[in-house]
Amino acid sequence: MAKLFLVPTPIGNLEDITLRAIRILKEVDLILAEDTRTSGKLLKHYEISKPLWAHHKFNEHKTVDKIKEQIDSGSNVALISDAGTPAISDPGFLLVKTCVEAGIDVECLPGATAFVPALVNSGLPCDKFCFEGFLPVKKGRQTRLKELAEETRSLIIYESPYRLIKTLEQLALVCGNERKASVSREISKLHEENARGSLNELIEHFKAKTVKGEIVIILSGKE
Per residue in 153-198, pLDDT (tens digit) is: 999 999 999 999 999 999 999 999 999 999 999 999 999 999 999 9
- 3-class secondary structure per residue, 54-87: ECCCCCHHHHHHHHHHHHHCCCCEEEECCCECCC
Q: Name which of 199, 200, 204 is nearest 218 in CA terms.
A: 199
Give the predicted TM-score (pTM) of the model: 0.92
**For residue 83, pLDDT beyond 90:** yes
CA 140 to chain centre: 22
pLDDT at residue 1 is higher than 90: no
Helices (H), the chain: 19-27, 36-45, 60-72, 93-101, 115-121, 141-148, 164-175, 199-207
Taking the C-alpha atoms of residue 6 and residue 107, their distance in angstroms, rounded to an integer, is 6
SS3 182: strand
Write the pLDDT tens digit of every residue in 7-46: 999 999 999 999 999 999 999 999 999 999 999 999 999 9
- pLDDT attached to residue 121: 96
For the chain, list the domains and their CATH numbers: 3-108 (3.40.1010.10), 115-219 (3.30.950.10)
On average, the pLDDT of the chain sits at 96
Return phi, psi of residue 82, to 5°.
-60, -35
**In this structure, which long-range contacts are made by residues 200-208, counting pairs with CB atoms below 8 Å and at least 24 apart in sequence?**
200/172, 202/168, 203/165, 203/168, 203/169, 203/172, 206/164, 206/165, 206/168, 207/165
- Can you give the pLDDT at residue 166? 97
Nearest alpha-carbon partner for 13 in 190, 212, 184, 215? 190
